[in-house]
Amino acid sequence: MNPRHALLTLACAAVAGTLGGCAIQADSGPRDVAEEHPARGAIDADVEGGEATGEGRIYLVAPDGSVQPLRTVLRNSKDLVQRLMLGPNQQELDAGLSTELPPALVVNEISYDGGVVIVDMSDDINELTGASLRLAVAQIVFTASEIPGTESVDIRVNDEAQSWPNGADVQVSGPLTVYDYVGFAESSQPPFPVTPQNPSGTTAETTTTAGAATTVPQTVAGESTTLPPAETTTTVPTG
């Protein structure tokens, strides 16, 4: 036998008495992770507010003086409503973002009925009144509407239906949509229509009446300009 192989064989035999062989043995059951283990950081990580990454969005309350009272921040697209319950993370707090949702508020269940997302919550939301309640409900409606396929959001308290104030402070029974809170959230739409001919604004239309060119004012980047009449050619019959 090769001397090197013989040494390895003897080493395995020596270890076998204590480890049961020269292979890594599977644990017989789950075990605690040691305090110094690198994985402990992931287990004990502070998840309050959540990490501002992902393809989904939740809606938080914008700083005072903002044009729209709600602002979107990134979150993992899974369980968006539950992530909304965590509120802003420290970086978002430093930026002036906040939430009107009570700290004790919990989501009992989220279910789906066609295009309606049913969000069943604890009765802690009934502690809110006035503008705080409108903002809290708007946060839930906008965030739940980020779930693909959502057409409306039905907010219930301990599985009981109730009415909620819309953006105009009018009580609405039944499912709500983002259109009940027009102007509450920042828009992702361009400030004016975009056309292939003029990506920065609308194009002018030119019509010809009785051989004369008439121009329609053109709006470009918020400024109104009038294009000069196009040159026309008149053909005189001969003979």
Q: What is the pLDDT of residues 33-49, one digit of tens each?
A: 344 433 333 333 334 56
Of residues 156 and 214, more confidence is placed in 156
**With contact defined as beta carbons under 8 Å apart, do 203 and 195 qualify?**
yes
Each domain of the chain, given as residue ranges in start order, spans 56-181
Which position has the higher pLDDT, 2 or 152? 152
Q: What is the pTM of this model?
A: 0.59
The pLDDT tens digits of the residues spanning 144-200 come to: 999 999 999 999 999 999 999 999 999 999 999 999 999 999 754 334 343 444 444
Mean pLDDT of the chain: 72
- Tell me how far apart the alpha carbons of residues 142 and 135 are, in angstroms, rounded to a whole number: 10
Beta strands in the chain (DSSP E): 56-61, 70-75, 107-113, 116-121, 152-157, 160-161, 164-165, 171-172, 206-209, 212-215, 218-220, 223-225
